[in-house]
Amino acid sequence: MANATTSGRLSRFKAMEFVVGILLFGTICLAVLFAPLLFPDGGTKIDLAARLTAPFQSFAHVLGTDPLGRDVLARVVTGGKVSLVVGFASVVGSIFVGVAMGLVAGYYRGAWDALLMRFVDVQLALPFILLAITFFAILGGSLVNTIVLLIVSQCVQYARLVRGSVLSLREREFILSARAIGVADRNIILRHLLPNLLGPVIVLATLNFANNILLESSLTFLGLGVDPTIPSWGGMLADARTYLQTAWWVSVFPGLAILLTVLGLNLLGDWLRDSLDPTGRTSR
């Protein structure tokens, strides 16, 4: 009876976790998607007469304005596009590169495994900030370069995850049977191995999506990421750091947008982990 009650509570908690996560992340995505309709000027319109207007004092500027009189709400919603694009594109790229590396290393072993895993070890040994400074010093800061940097730095996580799973799966009966009847390696990898790897990869992708949003914002805040002329959450935080005492809203609302987006993604990632791997659920 006690176990049934505990299980019921856990199920309700996980359902609530999913609902809150999807509401937070879905709201941000919808706002960013309809930003061109809601704010045609993209938050770039300057109105010096209304500079540093406090929030909730004007219907024209619900969340106030920045030092140049630009609407904070418009810039927060418009700036979310950069973070979401960087997070999504870098995760997709990391999955393609990392999964391919892990499949080749885990299935074929030998020289391929040694070569690819040594690359993974070297990359993991490099501090991310050092890699970012070197990368941007050579290629310069831009949206595309930020995505490429995140792909290079995170594909190794997928490679290690996939390699470890493949090493276990390749010795299972259904793989040995497929080899015995002459199934081509390509078909074994695509039809038998890859479907069994999707669960852990999807969970890691969800968590990395949230992490990449934080990394992009941090890099832009430091002046290493996206072009500062493009509205972004990290850029807004960088511009507002000198106004923390006189105009708190200029930095609080972009930071709150980052917080809610990352929180929503982490809740979805936690829900996915428990849904796709029930045996690995943590006790609450």
Q: Which two tokens stand for residue 135?
A: 């990368």
> Which whole number is the average pLDDT over 117-144?
86
What tens digit of pLDDT does each residue of 15-47 get?
788 889 899 999 999 999 998 888 888 778 888
Per-residue pLDDT tens over the stretch 164-186: 888 888 878 888 888 888 888 78
pTM, two decimals, is: 0.83
Domains of the chain, earliest start first: 12-42+54-280 (1.10.3720.10)
C-alpha 166/C-alpha 194 separation (Å) is 9
Gap between the Cα atoms of 64 and 55, Å rounded: 4
Q: pLDDT tens across 218-240, in order? A: 888 888 878 777 888 888 888 88
Instruction: Mark 179-191 as b/e (b = at least 16 C-beta within 10 Å).
Output: eeeeeeeeebbee
**Which residue type does 42 have?**
G
Longest dimension (CA), the chain: 78
